[in-house]
Amino acid sequence: MASLPTPPATAAGATTKTYSSSFTTTSPAVSSWPVFAQSSKKCSIKSLKHKVSCNAGSSDNSLNNLDRRNVLLGLGGLAGAVNLTSVPSVGASPLAAPDISKCGTLPLSGFKPGEDTPTGGDCCPPDSSQILDFEFPKNQTFKVRPAAHLLSPKYIEKFNLAIKRMKELPADDPRNFLQQAHIHCAYCNGAYTQSSSGFPDIEIQIHNSWLFFPFHRWYLYFYERIMGSLIDDPTFALPFWNWDTPAGMTIPKYFNNESSALFDPKRNQSHLQAVIDLGYNGADADTTDVEKVTNNLAIMYRQMVTNATDPTSFFGGEYRAGNEPISGGGSVEQSPHTPVHRWVGDTREPNGEDLGNFYSAGRDTLFYCHHSNVDRMWSLWKMLGGKHKDITDEDWLNTSFVFYDEKKNLVRVYVKDCLFTNQLGYDYQRVDVPWLKSKPVARVPRGGVAKKLAGKIKQTKDVSFPVKLDKTVKVLVPRPKKSRSKKEKEDKEEILVVQGISYDSEKYVKFDVYVNDEDDDVSAPDQTEFAGSFAQLPHKHKGKSRSKTNFRAGLTELLEELGADDDENVLVTVVPRSGSEDITIDDIKIILV
């Protein structure tokens, strides 16, 4: 069973640490760290396995002052920090920050001319003739990002005030709320090209590849700095929507206050007080709240543990200058990240606005809390040990982006400088991580399923690929090697790959994958046979409406739990869920990594 190490305690009083990148960070005295309120009320969601508490904010009861034991200190602080040159290697091909003066966005379907849609330059942030290279702030105040459902009324007031002042800034101010939302739109909806890398006809897309985590980390970093500066509070930290624990699986109620700057009218009205579905298919499932909680925790275990055994599986596939991101997104990006977006998005809107579409997602303040928790997953994943380490490829490390800081400067940043949250001056409040103890359980041991069904289902070599996913697809897939030893399993993970997935990028697309599940009524996410989900949020591409990518799922632990180690083949079932009527799949195979 995977477990997180216990963070070391730190004595009270301010401390200063010097890191390998030649800067200092001052950690505040324990007594000055923010206090978060926690409600003592009980909710109606009850089960034998999980204790579920209500949203906080209505109570003045508070937790003890945060000390180091309340913060996730990934990798023991910065003891392992790297000191890399900011100059890419000769012959390397990292993706360079875009030339924002050449930004140009694309029209969306469902809008009439003149309506609020990103056409022309509507989705492009202001241009700047000067770009500064990022430098770590000296003597920066260390911040602790709190769980959104545990905020005190005073903290909620600060949060609201910061967003209110962002919305009140002049429309052409790059710190303005809508201008900040445009940043996400421009990077992921066909507005930027790779012209700075020498490929002006190829667009930049920061989803569906190894750029997903670092881009959003940098994005939130500058957003948080802008918020703090607008309320003159350098200690202010962006809350994280703690949807991976039962107490945080609803939208915090202060987001639904119509008089608050945190409010967004473009949200799914039936989900404002509902328990979230981390496996959302585009329509509400017929499940109880307890079943949702159980499934959510199992999905978190599957995506953070079983399907994230190596950097490629967790971060996503490589994406270099001159290429498109076709190698596939990482486990967390697929789910829960994408289903959460769509679950919040308004079904009354033509494109699922706001959070349900890439171009408009940043217009909902909940987006930033959602991605704060996604960023937290990166920190948690690195604490699991083993192969849970950052990518070492120099093209990844030397990829660059540009963002505006709190002084309206356009700043160029590199992936290599965002690997450690402590180095950026923040960390996360320590809260329970119940999904670590939520490993899915098999219906019944399924060993030998593939052999039993060999005469009923065509072998993979006899299937005519590409396969259209307009109905459930079942295929037998040969394994590279059966009955592997413990050492062989430690050296190489067995990975299921659904290859060459072609889909309509302007739709919410999702399908689920099951292993050795012979029943017509497929397993629930809390059962071992459920291997994972492929999910994509709607977005635009220059000159095309279709995208192509891959999906990966870890098999080593799953096959052990199913008692299928000795099987020569596994039965793979692919079930279309949303927008899948015109999906095609080039191949399904199993590899050793």
Instruction: Say which of 50, 149, 207, 271 is annotated catalytic.
Output: 207
Instruction: Say which of 50, 149, 216, 539 is annotated catalytic.
Output: 216
* Sequence ranges of the binding site for Cu cation: 184, 207, 216, 337, 341, 371
Q: Nearest to residue 253, comparing CAs of 262, 244, 243, 245?
A: 262
Instruction: Say which of 371, 403, 420, 551 is annotated catalytic.
Output: 371
Q: Nearest to residue 9, comparing CAs of 37, 30, 28?
A: 30
Dist CA 48 CA 70 (whole Å)? 26
Inter-CA distances, 132 with 211, 245, 377, 411, 413, Å: 21, 40, 30, 5, 9
Whether the CB-CB separation of 394 and 92 falls below 8 Å is answered with yes
**Count of Cβ atoms closer than 10 Å to residue 444 Cβ:** 10
Instruction: Say which of 184, 271, 388, 539 is annotated catalytic.
Output: 184
Instruction: Say which of 212, 358, 420, 551 is annotated catalytic.
Output: 358
Dist CA 329 CA 309 (whole Å)? 14
The verdict on whether 370 is a catalytic residue reads no
CA angle 468, 472, 473 (to 5 degrees): 65
Q: Nearest to residue 408, comparing CAs of 129, 123, 127, 175?
A: 175
* Sequence ranges of the binding site: 184, 207, 216, 337, 341, 371
The alpha carbon of residue 56 and the mean position of all alpha carbons in its chain are separated, in whole angstroms, by 24
The verdict on whether 371 is a catalytic residue reads yes
Instruction: Say which of 341, 370, 388, 539 is annotated catalytic.
Output: 341
Instruction: Say which of 50, 182, 337, 370 is annotated catalytic.
Output: 337
The verdict on whether 50 is a catalytic residue reads no
Dist CA 244 CA 434 (whole Å)? 8
CA angle 18, 70, 213 (to 5 degrees): 70
Task: List own/partner pairs for 407-412 with CB under 8 A and 24 or more apart.
Answer: 407/229, 408/173, 408/174, 408/175, 409/128, 409/130, 409/132, 410/100, 410/128, 410/130, 410/131, 410/132, 410/174, 411/131, 411/132, 411/133, 411/134, 411/222, 412/97, 412/131, 412/132, 412/133, 412/134
Handedness of CA 109, 577, 47, 442 (dihedral sign): negative
Dist CA 380 CA 146 (whole Å)? 15
Segments in 458-513 forming alpha helices (H): 486-491
Record the tokens describing residue 48, joined without a space: 């034998």
The verdict on whether 337 is a catalytic residue reads yes
Dist CA 534 CA 335 (whole Å)? 8
The verdict on whether 149 is a catalytic residue reads no
The verdict on whether 207 is a catalytic residue reads yes
**Count of Cβ atoms closer than 10 Å to residue 259 Cβ:** 7
Enumerate the β-bridge partners of residue 498.
551, 588
User: Which residues are marked as active site?
Assistant: 184, 207, 216, 337, 341, 358, 371
